């Protein structure tokens, strides 16, 4: 459902943010 998709998207956003913070720019 939409709620499930939104939840997955939020989790992915958090993981991406952590990855960006870890990876040196």
pLDDT tens digits for range 1-25: 567 888 989 999 999 999 988 887 6
Instruction: Output the pLDDT for position 17.
Output: 92
Query: Taking the model in full, what pTM does it have?
Result: 0.48
Instruction: Output the pLDDT for position 3.
Output: 76
State both tokens at 5: 């998709």
**Residue environment code for 10-23, b if the CB has 16+ CB neighbours within 10 A, otherwise e:** eeeeeeeeeeeeee
CA distances (Å), 9 to each of 24, 25, in order?
24, 24
> Which residue's structure tokens are 């040196």?
24
Residue 12 φ/ψ, nearest 5 degrees: -65, -40
Number of domains in the chain: 1
Range of the domain at 18: 1-25
């Amino acid at each position: 459902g939409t709620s499930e998709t939104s939840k997955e998207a939020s989790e992915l956003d958090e993981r991406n943010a952590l990855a960006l913070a870890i990876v040196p720019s």
